[in-house]
A and B are shown apart, each in its own frame.
Chain A
Amino acid sequence: MNFNRNTALASSLALVLGFATPVFADIKIGSTISETGPASFLGDPEAKTLKMLVEEINAAGGVNGEKINLILYDDGGDPNKARTFATRLVEDDKVVAVIGGTTTGTSMAIIPVFEDAEIPFISLAGAIEIIDPVRPHTFKTPHTDRMACAKIFEDMKKNGITKIGMISGSDGFGASMHKQCLQIIGEYGIQVLADETYSPADADMTPQLTNIKSKAGVQAVLNPGFGQGPAIVTRNYAQLALGLPLYQSHGVASDGFIELAGAKAAEGVRLPGTALLVASLLPENDPQRSVVVAYKAAYEKATGKPVSTFGGYAHDALRILVDAIKRAGSTEPSAIRDAIEGTHGLVGTTGTVTMSAKDHLGLDLSAFRMLRIENGGWKIVE
């Protein structure tokens, strides 16, 4: 093998493996998201939101005069693949910050890569483990599942409910929320009398609900889960006429849920949701109103699909990042990291974000709104 052939081999190898890497120097922001696979229900709106917003920002002149170059990979919900893409973003694409990690599994798998490389990372997944304990370079935008549980239990307590049944999805989302709810449920004096699960692809949950129904003393039912599961649970719930209040999680907070479950079956379902869902119901003076109305309009125009809470998580992550880069006046990862931690009073779709060295989420319970489904639409309880 002579020298020429070696270089040809090397460059063709580089071409094959790193073809997607653009060479021009803008602000490189990386992203690994589950656009396909079992979590595509979450990842798809996230990816669409990022692409849409980056286009919008660049059309308006970019950030500090520089254009954003979004490098987005689809990890299919596979943590191993996510880890490879994370390495690629850091080592090969040389991004300055990363948004992504649709599921808790993928987020936890890629955190070590960014912590080692000291690149700021904003996760879009729910579990509290992502930011507790606080890691220097890891942030997240969605409320923790624990906060959703707290919001739901507060509402139960207010309504005098002390004994509940739970039916949780056995996927990552359902299992994680189930665990975190059980961790704090004691603080609210609520007991779980029946604890059932279902698999994400199940077609019928009447056996589990029958067991909850026949348990004496159950006053309400909580269903942590996302995807088709909660819609089927809601339909089976109506079929069996349990007649008890049904609480869903923030995992189904979208208009699509009412459509899937059917307005009749979904009537009276309660869940903690973000301002995004009830954009038009917000009072004029609500600080979130202009943000959520603008995002909702832009997203629905760009994609022709109804907006979802998950796309909102990506929206907030990009806003936080862009805001940080502006304030930092630099694209050095360390400067961006410091600026993200200094985020103060940034209004997003999930709430008003104020971070600190001890809080890499920056949201409190007030950002959640307890919603009830009435006549096929949302109603703010409280």
Chain B
Amino acid sequence: MPEFLQFLLSGITVGAVYALVALGFTIIYNASGVVNFAQGEFVMLGGMITVFTYAAGLPLPLAALIAILATAAIGVALNTLAIAPARGAPVVSLIIITIGASILIRGATQLVFDKQLHRFPAFSGDTPIAIGGATILPQSLWVISGAFAIFLLLWLFFTRTLIGRAVLATANNRVAAQLVGINTNFVMTLSFAMSAAIGALAGVLVTPITLTSYNIGLAFALKGFAAAMIGGMGNPKGALVGGLLLGILEAMTAGYISSQYKDATAFIVILVVLFAMPQGLFGSKSTDRV
């Protein structure tokens, strides 16, 4: 039983990481219908910029704040310079643009910073917390609460705020949204800023656990993308559930079946979920709009 609990705690930790990345995908997808493959690079930037500003002597919270703001600015730049000019392009072209962006950001990061691995200290120390024979690190609790907090904020944002509804309206029908007076350009800018900031925050939270370097973004993007698809693209609830589900399944596979095919189970689950529910677990509502 302590084994099961340990697997579960591990799965929730990793799942919360995936969920954080998946939540970042959600906003951009909702606003523009674009799956941003550079989302993983935002996570990387959050970690890397924090590492270097912290190493330069700034206190950790300030370093993290700078990283989040800087990444949000990069997100806005990505929208203004690449996504907005390509409006209306087919899905494949958009995929290639965002993958191009991710290669570009990676290339720039290795030049500006370096190619080594880095981490900064955990927020609340490294003393494991024992729960029924299993243990969890305090930083994992930070990641898990971060994922839930962002989920809650996004959910409130999309359902309770005017601007959040404007984002959804823009996604639904751009022209109609403009007709009712929504500044769709502002909505797009805001979405990219938020998405990038959430990605960067994820990077800040997970770096003490996963470490960071210029080329970790792609792995995050793939798993986050998979998690978002399992849950149903564009739905914050789907992102959270998809992320946690993926993390827990991986941990259980590693624990009970084979650690070698841990990642395989994740993708088998994706295939099974998509075959049974082609729109993901919670996706039906948001994709009806097509």
Bound Cα distance from A41 to B215, whole angstroms: 10
A207 in contact (CB, < 8 A): yes
- State how many residues of chain B have any CB contact under 8 Å with chain A: 36
Bound Cα distance from A41 to B110, whole angstroms: 12
Is A206's CB under 8 angstroms from B9's CB?
A: yes
From B3, B114, B115, give the contact of A210 (CB < 8 A).
Answer: B3
Bound Cα distance from A207 to B259, whole angstroms: 9
A201: B residues at CB distance < 8 A:
216, 219
Separation in Å of the B188 CB from the closest CB of chain A?
Answer: 31
B161 in contact (CB, < 8 A): no
B197 in contact (CB, < 8 A): no
B209 in contact (CB, < 8 A): yes
Is B116's CB under 8 angstroms from A203's CB?
A: no
Is A40's CB under 8 angstroms from B115's CB?
A: yes
A210: B residues at CB distance < 8 A:
3, 6-7, 255
From B14, B114, B255, B260, give the contact of A203 (CB < 8 A).
Answer: B14
Q: Can you show 15 pairs from A to B with CB atoms below 8 A apart? A: A36-B110, A38-B215, A40-B110, A44-B115, A197-B260, A198-B262, A199-B262, A201-B219, A203-B209, A207-B7, A208-B254, A208-B255, A231-B211, A232-B209, A240-B128
Is B117's CB under 8 angstroms from A265's CB?
A: no
A18 in contact (CB, < 8 A): no
Bound Cα distance from A264 to B114, whole angstroms: 26
Is B210's CB under 8 angstroms from A207's CB?
A: no
From A206, A256, A260, give the contact of B6 (CB < 8 A).
Answer: A206
A285 in contact (CB, < 8 A): no
With contacts A210-B7, A239-B128, A239-B137 known, is A305 near B215, CB below 8 A?
Answer: no
A338: B residues at CB distance < 8 A:
none
Bound Cα distance from A201 to B14, whole angstroms: 11
From A170, A211, A232, A262, give the contact of B255 (CB < 8 A).
Answer: A211
Separation in Å of the B44 CB from the closest CB of chain A?
Answer: 12
B251 in contact (CB, < 8 A): yes
A203: B residues at CB distance < 8 A:
13-14, 17, 206, 209-210
A4 in contact (CB, < 8 A): no
With contacts A204-B10, A239-B137 known, is A228 near B117, CB below 8 A?
Answer: yes
A287 in contact (CB, < 8 A): no
Closest partner residue, chain A, to B254 (CB atom): A207
Give the interface SS of chain B, mostly helix, strand, loop or mixed. Answer: helix
B286 in contact (CB, < 8 A): no
A227 in contact (CB, < 8 A): yes
With contacts A37-B215, A208-B254, A228-B211 known, is A305 near B114, CB below 8 A?
Answer: yes
Query: Among B114, B115, B209, which residue has the most Cβ atoms of chain A within 10 A?
Result: B115
Is A207's CB under 8 angstroms from B119's CB?
A: no
Is B260's CB under 8 angstroms from A204's CB?
A: no
Is A207's CB under 8 angstroms from B216's CB?
A: no
A256: B residues at CB distance < 8 A:
116-117
Closest partner residue, chain B, to A35 (CB atom): B115
B210: A residues at CB distance < 8 A:
203, 228, 232
A38: B residues at CB distance < 8 A:
215
Closest partner residue, chain A, to B219 (CB atom): A201
B206: A residues at CB distance < 8 A:
203
Is A264's CB under 8 angstroms from B126's CB?
A: yes
A2 in contact (CB, < 8 A): no
A359 in contact (CB, < 8 A): no
Bound Cα distance from A235 to B259, whole angstroms: 18
Query: Among B11, B110, B119, B259, which residue has the most Cβ atoms of chain A within 10 A?
Result: B259
Closest partner residue, chain B, to A37 (CB atom): B215
A214 in contact (CB, < 8 A): yes
Separation in Å of the A267 CB from the closest CB of chain B?
Answer: 12
B119: A residues at CB distance < 8 A:
231, 259-260
Bound Cα distance from A259 to B55, whole angstroms: 13
B255: A residues at CB distance < 8 A:
207-208, 210-211
Is A262's CB under 8 angstroms from B126's CB?
A: yes
Bound Cα distance from A38 to B137, whole angstroms: 28
B13: A residues at CB distance < 8 A:
203-204
B265 in contact (CB, < 8 A): no
Extra 19 A-B pairs, beta carbons < 8 Å, given A203-B17, A232-B211: A35-B115, A37-B215, A44-B114, A44-B115, A44-B116, A198-B254, A199-B263, A202-B262, A203-B13, A203-B206, A203-B210, A204-B251, A207-B11, A207-B254, A208-B254, A240-B6, A241-B128, A259-B119, A305-B114
Separation in Å of the A53 CB from the closest CB of chain B?
Answer: 19
A55 in contact (CB, < 8 A): no
Separation in Å of the A76 CB from the closest CB of chain B?
Answer: 10
Bound Cα distance from A170 to B263, whole angstroms: 11
A196 in contact (CB, < 8 A): yes
A231: B residues at CB distance < 8 A:
117, 119, 211
Closest partner residue, chain B, to A304 (CB atom): B114
Bound Cα distance from A206 to B14, whole angstroms: 11
B6: A residues at CB distance < 8 A:
206-207, 210, 240
Is A197's CB under 8 angstroms from B114's CB?
A: no
Separation in Å of the A165 CB from the closest CB of chain B?
Answer: 12
